[in-house]
Amino acid sequence: MKTQQVIGLILLLAVCVSSLDLSRYTEEEKRILAKATRTDINGWIYLKLSGTPYEIGFAHGSLVSKEYQENMEANTAITYQTTGMTYDFFVKQGVKTQKSSIPAEQLQELQGIADGVTKAGFNTTLDDVIGWNANTDIAGYWWPTVQHLYGNAPVNKGMFTKGKCSAFVATGSSTVDGNIIIAHTTFTDFWAGQANNVILDITPTHGARMVFQAAAGYIASMTDFWTTSAGLSIVETTIVNYSGYNATAAPEWVRARTAAQYATSIDEWVSIMGKNNNGGYANSWLLADSKTNEIALYELGLIYQNYQKKNSGFFYGFNSPWDPRIRHLECMDTGFNDIRQQTGARRLRWQQLFDQYNGSIDEKVGMKMIGDTYDVYLEKENPSSRTICSHYDVDPQMYVSDPNGVDNIPYAPFGSVDGKITRGNGVSMWGVYGRADGTEFNAEKFLKEHAQWNWQSPYLKSRPAQP
């Protein structure tokens, strides 16, 4: 190897592992780390990874071991408070029901993550990492179907399927140049959403290069903002108050990763996602293919599916399904027509925004739309649970009356935690970490004003305004 190449390799290794104790690592492990980089910028952790599944996983786990440990500590504490069951209970169930459904190369990547996290100083196992990846599926969708076996409280089977995310995709006559624009903001509990600040840029030995948002230790997005070198861009909004689960079928996170890595068209992606569907993490998916300039809506219930494609126009997601069969036969009250509810209000506001901007949407307009805080119920600018960039933490929830409605809890530390947008013509993106509209969240101030949430204080972090 030439001297310049050696120096370059040493410098790259120093950038990658400056926070790691290299005495822990073998020469082979150092070689793996030398192919990876971590860049911290504006609240995001950008990991660029390549190689075999194990190499990708090992570098991933090594470079975010601290963040993975923080995730485990927070989830262990919060899960017990919100379910009455321990986090380990859900991990064991995830391994029991889902490990056999995980393809070999994904298992290798998960093993690499476990080994990398452990080598960097926090002991974890393959089963721990599987349980972490399976947690949304198991705690949110499996648990409501079996909770009655562990107590005598009445069960609302859709009680954990909160409204998560606002999103849109546009193409053709709806955009300024006829090309695709796709955007997404994640809604979730702040204690959990603050961990979704990892951008994984993975170039595997097989399949497409993928750039997607995730949390430390995930092999799929789980907030679901993906773009791939096959020309696909993928986002979703969760279907609220959804009920339905098949524990013997393939988990959503496994299918989503497989589809992103190997699908070369929207139809292929839909085919992979729909095959052996377990009903977990039921979503309204928005998809785009830059090769054909097509966009699609794919609503995936356990029983019913709604699949539409077009080459011009737009689709948007607001957490209530468009398909009446899914809305009425697989869900409880989704707030579809109720503008007091976050779902109905955002459905109306999206239509107003597309009436206003249709034909002129570009990246800047898309950023403005995804950060919109106009309240259609009060007919004024009013950051709240009802706005596209949701602010539950400042909403007294004075106008809701439906006991089965969507997330009707005053001043909940919940809502928009980011904003992402891409032109859909390559593996590139813009992202703001914090809220889609750029405003800060001050955890100390919030907890002083709303002391009912002090039980989250060890795990709730401030998020400053970011570019």
Q: Of 397-401, 415-419, 442-446, which range is least confident?
A: 397-401
Question: Is pLDDT at 263 greater than 60 in this prediction?
Answer: yes
Q: Which helix (H) or strand (E) holds 44?
A: strand 44-51
CA 317 to CA 239: how far, in whole Å?
9
Please count the other Cβ atoms lying within 10 Å of the Cβ belonging to residue 37.
17
Confidence at residue 1, expressed as pLDDT on a 0 to 100 scale? 44
CA 144 to CA 222: how far, in whole Å?
19
Q: What is the CA radius of gyration of the chain?
A: 21
Helix and strand element counts for the chain (H, E): 15, 18
Confidence at residue 23, expressed as pLDDT on a 0 to 100 scale? 85
CA 92 to CA 95: how far, in whole Å?
5
Q: Report the SS3 class of residue 40.
A: strand
CA 422 to CA 210: how far, in whole Å?
13
Please count the other Cβ atoms lying within 10 Å of the Cβ belonging to residue 404.
13
Q: Between 28 and 401, whose confidence is greater?
A: 28
Q: Are strands 430-433 and 418-422 parallel, antiparallel or unpaired?
A: antiparallel
Q: Are strands 225-228 and 210-214 parallel, antiparallel or unpaired?
A: antiparallel
Helix 87-98 to helix 65-83 angle, to the nearest 10 degrees?
A: 100
Confidence at residue 392, expressed as pLDDT on a 0 to 100 scale? 96
Please count the other Cβ atoms lying within 10 Å of the Cβ belonging to residue 4.
8
For range 435-448, the mean pLDDT = 97
Best CA proximity match to 213, nearest among 429, 51, 415 = 429
Percent pLDDT > 90 in the chain is 88
Strands (E), 321-426: 374-375, 380-381, 414-416, 418-422
Please count the other Cβ atoms lying within 10 Å of the Cβ belonging to residue 356.
10
For the segment 13-47, what is each residue's pLDDT rounded down to a tens digit? 444 555 788 888 999 999 999 999 999 999 999 99
CA 179 to CA 172: how far, in whole Å?
6
pTM of the model: 0.94
Contact 394, 384 (CB under 8 A): yes
DSSP state of 34: H
Contact 224, 231 (CB under 8 A): no
Going by C-beta distance under 8 Å and a sequence separation of 6 or more, which residues neighbour residue 95?
127, 130, 131, 134
Helix 3-17 to helix 53-63 angle, to the nearest 10 degrees?
A: 60
Please count the other Cβ atoms lying within 10 Å of the Cβ belonging to residue 447.
17
Would you state the structure tokens that stand for residue 225, as one six-digit string? 């903002």
Confidence at residue 15, expressed as pLDDT on a 0 to 100 scale? 47
Q: Are strands 44-51 and 198-204 parallel, antiparallel or unpaired?
A: parallel
CA 183 to CA 155: how far, in whole Å?
35
For range 383-394, the mean pLDDT = 97
Confidence at residue 16, expressed as pLDDT on a 0 to 100 scale? 52
pLDDT mean across residues, the chain: 93
Strands (E), 290-442: 294-300, 305-310, 313-317, 374-375, 380-381, 414-416, 418-422, 430-433
Domain ranges of the chain: 1-34
Q: Between 250 and 155, whose confidence is greater?
A: 250
For the segment 97-143, what is each residue's pLDDT rounded down to a tens digit? 999 999 999 999 999 999 999 999 999 999 999 999 999 999 999 99
Confidence at residue 408, expressed as pLDDT on a 0 to 100 scale? 83
Helix 104-119 to helix 126-137 angle, to the nearest 10 degrees?
A: 120
Best CA proximity match to 413, nearest among 457, 377, 382 = 457
Which residues, listed in sequence order, are joined to residue 235 by a DSSP beta bridge?
225, 286
Burial class (CB in 10 A: 0-12, 13-18, 19+), 427: buried
Confidence at residue 399, expressed as pLDDT on a 0 to 100 scale? 85
